Chains A and B, each alone.
Chain A
Amino acid sequence: MRYAFFPGCTLESAAEELMISTKKVAAALGIELIELNGWTCCGASHIQDVDDFLATSINARNITLAEELKVDKLLTVCNTCTLMLRTAKLKMDKNEKLRTRVNEGLGRAGMEYKGTVEVTHLLWALIQDYGLENLKKKVKRPLTGLKVANFYGCHILMPPNVMGFENHMNPISMEMVADILGAESVDFDQRLACCGFHAVFPAEREVLDLTGKNCLSPKTAGADCIVTPCPLCQMQLDAYQPDAQKGFGEDITMPILHLPQLIGLALGFSPEELAIQRHVVEAIPVLKESLALF
């Protein structure tokens, strides 16, 4: 299996552990990821607030880079990158006038968007393309005893006319993967909540309040850790957790894993190989205890 790969900015610095774990997991599963040469930031749901035509243009350029690789799909590991790329694709494919205009701009960079590549997320690709039965065959260390809280994040579900992989009100993809890996999914109130990351600067107080609720809810439900398919949710819940704790009387401590890290653990990698030590909230002790790792 071969995908064009769009890492997104966080994988280059703050969430380098996601780059490390994604590459390890892909290699172990025999999935070839070809990183786009010269990809730009997707705009992270901000650039359209300055210039929406530009936001569409830069992502049309990113998708065109994938088209030039002659692959069927462009794969991401970030909810927001997926949404930004798919939003641009939908606009380009549906609106002939816009497509002509954007292509005029791309033409100045010697490029042309054709619309031949689909944009997907690792979570979807595992279910849709790789197959969970095949994933199951690769499991070397079932995650028996690990209670995970699946935190989807908004941008892998909504808006459904852009995303639409599964029902946004009752998704099951994360539970399906956790189940195949042998982990137990814990139901919790904030499972489909917003992490607030995109407004953590202008709405700091509100977002930290959300972060606290998002950690406390799975903790109360008995989860060992949160798992998320989005590095932005991960950063909000992990790196800002000490700030959120200040607004809460009770202990909200909750380790936050990236989805590929959970998969990597089941494939037999050690937590250190998956760079789990890079998280702000210590996750390794609870993993070692729950999975009896030494």
Chain B
Amino acid sequence: MGVVLHAKDLNKRFGAVTAAAGVNAAIEQDSVVGLIGTNGAGKTTFINMITGYIKPDTGSIEFRGRDITALAPREVTRIGICRSFQIPQLYSSLTVFENMMVGLGVVLRNAKLGGFFSRGRPYVPGHEAPAEEVAERILQRFGLADYRNKNAQVLPGGVRKLLDIALTMVAKPSILLLDEPTSGVSAEEKFGMMDMVMTAVKAEGATVLFVEHDMEVVSRFAERVLAFYDGRIIADAPPEIALRDPEVKRYVVGGELHRMDEQQGSAHA
């Protein structure tokens, strides 16, 4: 165990909006961390800064001791930190299988000079198998095998989400940042989906950070919770403790807990 990702004192303002104020977090290897907070609290900004999409005004981010604050998203991906998106970012004109192949192709290219001089089917570094096999394997793990030849455009919402997450596995990340993996998925399906995702991801031995609004999902899957409010981390603890923290209850959970109480009180099946 060791600290694999360290955000040090990140600050970011967009005009009058404070997206990050003194954000400090040390993420341990193999841990599963839930990021919670209301919209605009700074969770996605946090992920954007880690992946290099935006640069913090002050502060730094270290990955295995190396400063990655200034890297561009593609470089961050190459060193092993991958993210999924709130709104799935897919290649809508390609099939599910082709989506995976593009990603694997990029990994190949980064390693072997574009494959221009290679013969036959080169092995994808990190996966040690030809690209087609790796694609099948990942699709299987995410339950997407049946959608293999369907155009990404026609996929139902939950499946699009799954594909978006599956695509992040292509570059064999050691750290996975999932931005609202279960949003848009019905309440009954959330747990099943997270189960599948977590199993698939953990099989590759990745450290996971996920943004989530459903507190039940958070308490079930996260070992540790970072609660955001107004750009600050107001709680950093295991879910049982964090979700009971008065500040967290007030600024983050408040509304949801209320609803959860109501549901338990009513005669809903």
Partners in one complex: no
Taking beta carbons and an 8 Å cutoff, which residues of A are in contact with B? Answer: none
Taking beta carbons and an 8 Å cutoff, which residues of B are in contact with A? Answer: none
